[in-house]
Amino acid sequence: MDHREIRRELRNRLLSGPLYTIPWGWEPLKLIGPLFSLLLDLDKRVRWHAVSSMGLATEMLFKEDEEKARVVLRRLMWHLNDESGGIGWGCPEAMGEILYRVKALSKEFSKILVSYVYEDQNYLEYPPLLQGAFWGIARVSKAHPQDVMGAKQRLVEEVRGKDPLLRIYSLLGLGNFNTALGSEEIQNLLEDKREFEIYWDERFQNLSSGLLAKKLLEEGKLLWNR
């Protein structure tokens, strides 16, 4: 199949879920190009399932050729560079998913993902891209928390911030650290019952800051700073 045929077949598959294995007869490298284009799809199911599938394809590619897998990450980074002329939709999330899946790449590239949330570094000013970077950091923190420890300060800041999506993504990231907050701050989180449809663990879920804060308290990850 050529690029267009792979993209068409891949999109049909992603409407129902992410790839869990590479289909027979398909090569990981040949999926990368179509997956890049599907990160821009108008259907959110396809976009998010493309993020997960990009992680799988790059993980499989890394086992075949480590340098080609690094090229995928550099391409994602380039799309987030002002000089690329593009917007970079889905690129921070795809970076996070790849780093979540491949420990060796996480050690190399997580610091770059973290740099996207700091204003004095490679800050992503466009809110959807910034939200994507926080989602990506939260994803990496689930498997390799030590690699994104540098983002903890920003996660705490956004838990205290006004953007409800950044707050939810930050709480997901802080689930892998011990964090102390003031009693009033925790109470405010617990009272925030606004639900948002979040793609997490390869499925869409309705999550709220209150639900996540309650879970972190029960797990001993969120501590009362009395």
Place of tokens 């869990």: 20
CATH of the domain at 136: 1.25.10
pLDDT at 1: 74
Confidence band, pLDDT 50/70/90 cuts, at residue 84? low
Model confidence pLDDT, tens digit, residues 85-95: 567 999 999 99
pLDDT at 223: 87
pTM of the model: 0.96
What integer is the mean pLDDT of 76-82? 90
Of 16, 21, 15, 56, residue with least CA distance to 38: 15
Place of tokens 């995928």: 72
The range of the structural domain enclosing residue 67 comes to 3-225
Model confidence pLDDT, tens digit, residues 137-153: 999 999 999 999 999 99
Q: At residue 171, does pLDDT exceed 80?
A: yes
For strand 203-207 and strand 196-200, is the pairing parallel, antiparallel, or unpaired? antiparallel
Rounded to whole angstroms, the Cα distance separating 189 from 192 reads: 5
Model confidence pLDDT, tens digit, residues 94-107: 999 999 999 999 99
Instruction: Name the domain count of the chain.
Output: 1
- The amino acid that residue 181 corresponds to is L
Model confidence pLDDT, tens digit, residues 189-215: 999 999 999 999 999 999 999 999 999
Confidence band, pLDDT 50/70/90 cuts, at residue 81? confident
Q: At residue 83, does pLDDT exceed 90?
A: no
CB 215 within 8 A of CB 168: no
Q: How far is CA 11 from the centre of its chain?
A: 20
Model confidence pLDDT, tens digit, residues 57-66: 999 999 999 9
Q: In whole numbers, what is the pLDDT of the chain averaged over residues?
A: 95
pLDDT at 22: 86
